[in-house]
Structure 1
Amino acid sequence: MSKLRVASILFLLSTFFLKFSSMLRDIAIAHLFGDSYVVDAYIAAMTIPNAIILFMLTGMKDAFLPSYYKYEKLGKGFSHLTNVVKGTFWISSVIAVCGAVLSPLLIRWLYPSFTGHGAEIAVWTAVIYFLSVALVGVNAVYEGYFDSQKKFSFSTFSQTIVVLCTIGGAILLYRQMGIYSVPFGYFVGTVLSFIIKLVYLRPRRFLMWSQPADWREILSFYKVFLPIGLTIAVGQINLFIDTLFSARLGEGVVSNLNYAFRLVNIPQAIFGVTIATLVFPLLAEAKVKEDMQLFRTGIEKGLNYMFLLLAPTIAGMIVLMRELVQVVYERGAFTAAATAQTSEYAIFFTGSVLFYSIQAVIAKGFYTLEKGHYILRAGVVSIIANAIFNAILSNVIGAVGLALSTSLVGFVYSAITFTTLYKLAGGFSLSVIGKEYAKITISTLVMCAVLLFVKHGLHADHLSVVPYLVIMIILGAAIYFLAAWLFRVESFKEIVAKGRIKQVSDS
């Protein structure tokens, strides 16, 4: 097997693992600690520094790559890398120290319901994650640098190290350290990831150690980075707001809402990101050719393919939610009562999966047209809407209101961005999209009707949970695609046609 093929396989495996890293971490936590108050305290506390961590990790690449290429053309790429690394280290270090010192005050102010041991867990969790920020920013810069050098596998591998250490810390040290084993594992992973980069590049190629930091250049970079990072951090800010409200609703609410959210977001991680990524080159081609018709076609196809795959997946999850939660989480300290509560929350979260996946396609349109500031404006509106919906719904219907709020905010966010892009692009073919969505919805309803009949009419749910899920998933997929073929769903026909063309070309 060639080195290129091995590298490609490693890259795909590590990327797949990263997509589900939060899910795997939470499965380990659920098994070891269930939905106890210690998990509530951990999740609530880590959400604060985690917003900063994701802000650095996800925004840095989008900002650093074009900036590095610009300086590289001038023969100053390594000098620019040095400036950004040094500037980021000092900025991250200040945030880390201030965050760690202020953690006791933040926890007391943000989560007044945490007392005694719970408050202690929250404080030290926040402290450990804040201290990690000092190196998270530097790691993010170098992962962007590796991507600029087409070393995607190494960039992904360095992130995977952090995930493995987090999960490993929880599994290996939980008896000695309790819930602290999770943030400790993350901290160790962050340090180890940094050391691996240093050893891989060697100190001489790591940066220009003697070069003084050019703060004018650093600040110029951060003017570009901040709006990109803030746009990407909108989701994490909304999650933080959700945690603030859920922490006031009793033991187990924070943890079970988190478990539910991670589970239902699997389809978004698979289909949402994938379809949006596949559509991006078509949109970029349209931009280069200044062909707005091709641009509109790309958005329309992206939205249609997205709904084709997500509609049956979300509907199937709703029908099978309790069994899915049971298979994924119910073991060790995670009880049947936790399964029931998590399942209820998860159903109300499902709307967010659809709306945020649709928004992922729309966002590519804004980035292609270089109108990313519209996304930031919509994100600010979504944050305000989330706080309002949370305040109202949590008082009216309790914890499920927070999950419902996330879905409603997703609808608001996607509606604002879609209507804005509609105007910028000169309109889309709404009749075509509407007709396609109607056919897909009917096909999905047919699938659900059959599954519900098999579940309740034929009492298939009396089977053991794993065989039951396997049978229902296979049956659901078969019924849905048969219905899509009978109702002549265009996006489904296109996928089948492309598959046939590929088979002919391969033979």
Structure 2
Amino acid sequence: MAQSDSSRPEQPAAPRPGLLRSSSLVGMMTLFSRVLGLVRDMVIARYFGAGAGADAFFVAFKIPNFLRRLFAEGAFNQAFVPVLSEYRHKHGHDAVRGLVNAVAGSLGFVLLLITVLAVMGSPLITAVFAPGFIDDPIRFGLASDMLRLTFPYLLLISLTAFAGSILNSYDRFAIPAFTPVLLNLSLIAAALFLTPLMSQPIMALAWGVLLAGLLQLFFQLPFLMKLGLLPRPRVDYRHEGVSRILKLMAPALFGVSVSQINLLLDTVLASFLPTGSVSWLYYSDRLAELPLGVFGVAIATVILPNLSRSHASRSPEHFARTLDWAVRMVLLVAVPAGVALVLLAEPLLATLFHYGEVTARDIGMSAQSLRAYSIGLVAFMLIKVLAPGFFARQDTRTPVKIGIIAMVANMVMNLALILPLAHAGLALATALSAWLNAFLLWRGLRKDGAYQFTPGWGRFLLQLCAANILMAGFILWYNAGANWLDAMATERIQDMAILVVGGVLVYGTTLGVGGVRLRHFRGH
């Protein structure tokens, strides 16, 4: 008897888009979201500055956001996508649908339980994540109250990330990449329109987070319906796919999310520092995460399904070429971004945030931590593309060992650097531990034979160095003697536009003259 269509392994209906094209699509959508995110942060800074209310909100928002990155976009995504790709390759649509239903029910039940417990115990969670707030009744009370509204975001955004993982596995990259725009729009609207209605104005932002979670989840459901994969949740921990995902998730919690744990440790220690330290770290981290979110996450999002398919189809050469392409793309973007952020820390922060309640001291303090974070930008992005090289092969033990080493190193450096450098020491420790993490991941992939250099690396590095040196020279020349803090807003925006556009042109032109062409990075 002929095998039914629903039980046959799926075959692609059309050629898959190239890696560069897919990464560009995700990058453009993410760039739009990140630009709106900067607008969001500018609005928050203008209304609330870097005071007690802002510190409390950033802690209340960071807790579910950290857990979301840890469980949903981090460990869960890295465990779920390879298993889903294998089901698509070896089984039929009915089996995929059964996996989706079982994962939706099992994941949703755990998240619901965690959310209920967290809402009931919000003061205890605040004390754990921000112990420095305990002796400050205003910040502690505000953070605890806001956490009751922001923590359900974990449930909603984790299910959103689950839906996005399915769409990404079917090469529907645009929808998940666009979804974060709704968070930024919600927070901007809450700050502008809900703030005047609240007895505690900062509470408007917590309501904005809750609304954003609902909007993001329901936005993606129609697209799952088109794929015939709208979940009908069913709690089934005995399902073969769910069992494998759980086994892969446990160690992956550390392996993929070390940088997030390190950032959270920064927040915990910063809560003991002077008022404003949490906000200074937040504003600087947001700028450092702009290139990371736009390009690093875009490349990682695209290569994970690609690597998973290569592993499932036993194509080690394609696997190694994909990783090498990703590393080159990261260096092409991360090196100039890191150089620019170090050189333009104060100008960028002044242009974006030096309005309303944000003082010149806030800009100077944020610039210190931004420079420190920028030192690790290349490493942060390399981690994003090297970790999938292990998870696509369903190897979660190696990254967890590396993650623990990097996390312990970060804790030691935090304690060593916090006294002489305060909040900037926390950022520098995070950057240095990221470099250790990236190096150990790269060495592990090389040792396994999963990563191999393709021809042309020597010339590429020379081209990259020349382009960055000339770009840095242009920035230093144009920025010499500028006074960004006293300049008018229009002058700051104009000069920053010239620096950004001019820097990009110098960098791109130098690469072009040196022989770098777009076709070299199209992927396969």
Partners of 2:157 and 2:453 in 1: how far apart? 44
Tell me what 2:62 maps to: 47
Deviates more, 1:81-90 or 1:218-227: 218-227
Distance between the aligned counterparts of 2:163 and 2:370, measured in 1? 36
Match of 1:215?
237
1:128 and 2:149 matched: yes
Q: Number of aligned pairs?
A: 484
- Distance verdict in 2 for CA 1:447–1:100, change over 3 Å: same
State the shift of 1:78 in Å. Answer: 4.0
Matches of 1:220 and 1:279, distance apart in 2: 21
Which stretch of structure 1 is more off in the superposition, 367-376 or 325-334? 367-376
TM alignment of 1:267-416, pairs within 5 A: 267-276=291-300, 296=320, 298-416=322-440
Deviations, residues 316-357 of structure 1 (Å, cap 9, x unaligned): 232222211112222222233222221222111111211112
Q: 1:333 to 1:305 in 2, by over 3 A?
A: same
CA distance in structure 2 between the aligned counterparts of 1:279 and 1:190, rounded to whole angstroms: 27
AA at the equivalent of 1:475: G
* Contact 2:383/2:438 (<8 A) preserved: yes
Residue identity matched to 1:95: I
- Could you say if the C-alpha distance between residues 456 and 285 of structure 1 is closer, same or farther in structure 2, counting changes exceeding 3 Å? same
Distance 1:140 1:429, change over 3 A: closer
1:476 pairs with 2:503: yes
Corresponding residue for residue 183 of structure 1: 206
Alignment partner, residue 28 of structure 1: 43
Residue 228 to residue 447, structure 1, CA distance change in 2 (3 Å)? same
Counterpart secondary structure, 1:118: helix
RMSD: 3.8
- CA shift at 1:443, angstroms? 3.8
Q: 3-state SS of the aligned residue for 1:251?
A: coil
- Among residues 183, 188, 197, which one is paired with 1:167 in the alignment? 188
After superposition, the Cα gap between the structure-2 partners of 1:73 and 1:108, relative to the gap in structure 1 and judged at 3 Å, is same
Q: Does 1:248 align with 2:275?
A: no
1:228-267 Cα shifts (integer Å, max 9, x gaps)? 4553333222111110111111111110111001112222
CA distance in 2 between partners of 1:449 and 1:372 (Å)? 43
| Structure 2 length-normalised TM | 0.79
Distance 1:356 1:145, change over 3 A: closer
Equivalent residue, structure 2, for 1:467: 494
Residue 97 of structure 1 contacts residue 130 of structure 1 at CA under 8 Å; is this kept in 2? no
On the 8 A contact 1:306/1:357 being kept in 2, the answer is: yes
Matched residue SS, 2:32: helix
How far apart are the structure 2 equivalents of 1:392 and 1:433? 37
> Structure 1 residues 476 and 85, CA, compared in 2 at 3 Å: closer, same or farther?
closer
Q: State the Cα deviation string for residues 467-494 of structure 1 (Å, max 9, x = none).
A: 22233333333444454466x4xxxx24
Q: Is 214-223 or 334-343 further displaced after alignment?
A: 214-223
Superposed CA deviations along residues 367-409 of structure 1, whole A, max 9, x for unmatched, are 4544343223222222222211111100122121111112111
* Deviation of 1:35 (Å): 0.8
Matched residue SS, 1:216: coil
Q: CA deviation at 1:225?
A: 3.8
Distance 1:106 1:465 in 2: 41
Alpha-carbon distance in structure 2 between the residues aligned to 1:365 and 1:475: 36
Report the equivalent of 1:5.
none
Bigger share in helix: 1
Once the two structures are TM-superposed, the CA of residue 422 in structure 1 deviates from its matched residue by 1.9
Structure 1 gaps of 5+ residues are 1-7, 502-507
**For the structure 1 residues 428 and 63, does the alpha-carbon distance in structure 2 shift closer, same or farther, using more than 3 Å as the test?**
closer
Q: Secondary structure at the match of 2:356?
A: coil
For 1:99, the equivalent position in structure 2 comes to: 118
For structure 2, list consecutive stretches of 5 or more residues without a partner in the other structure.
Answer: 1-21
Cα distance change, pair 33–206 in 1 and its aligned pair in 2 (3 A):
same
Counterparts in 2 of 1:190 and 1:475: CA distance versus 1, 3 Å: closer
Q: Which residue of the partner structure matches residue 505 of structure 1?
A: none
Partner SS, residue 43 of structure 1? helix
Give the letter for the 1:374 counterpart.
T
- Summarize deviations over 1:40-67 as a string: whole Å, max 9, x none: 1221233223222223431444444554
Aligned 8 A contact 1:83 1:213 in 2: yes
Preserved CA contact (<8 Å) 2:300 2:384: yes
Matched, 1:418 2:442: yes
1:21 offset after TM fit, Å?
5.9
Change (3 A) 1:430 1:214: closer
Give the TM-score, by structure 1 length.
0.81
Counterpart contact for 1:260–1:346, Cα < 8 Å:
yes
CA distance in 2: counterparts of 1:300 and 1:280, whole angstroms: 13
CA 1:495/1:290 → structure 2, altered by over 3 Å: closer, same or farther? farther
Deviation at 1:433, TM superposition (A): 4.1
Tell me, yes or no, if the aligned pair for 1:303 and 1:358 is still in contact at 8 Å: yes
Query: Using the alignment, how far apart are the partners of 2:155 and 2:310 within structure 1?
Result: 41
Q: Which residue of 2 is the match for residue 117 of structure 1?
A: 138
Amino acid at match of 1:240: L
Question: Does the 8 A contact of 1:351 with 1:410 survive in 2?
Answer: no
Contact 1:363 1:375 in 2 (8 A): yes
Percent same amino acid among aligned pairs?
Answer: 22
Distance in structure 2 (CA, Å) of the matches to 1:429 and 1:145: 31
- In 1, Cα distance between equivalents of 2:301 and 2:163: 23
Tell me the distance in 2 between the aligned counterparts of 1:414 and 1:148: 25
**Which region of structure 1 is more displaced relative to structure 2, 470-479 or 396-405?**
470-479
User: Is the Cα contact below 8 Å between 1:56 and 1:136 reproduced in 2?
Assistant: no
2:224/2:230 contact within 8 Å kept: yes
* Contact 2:183–2:213 under 8 Å retained in 1: yes
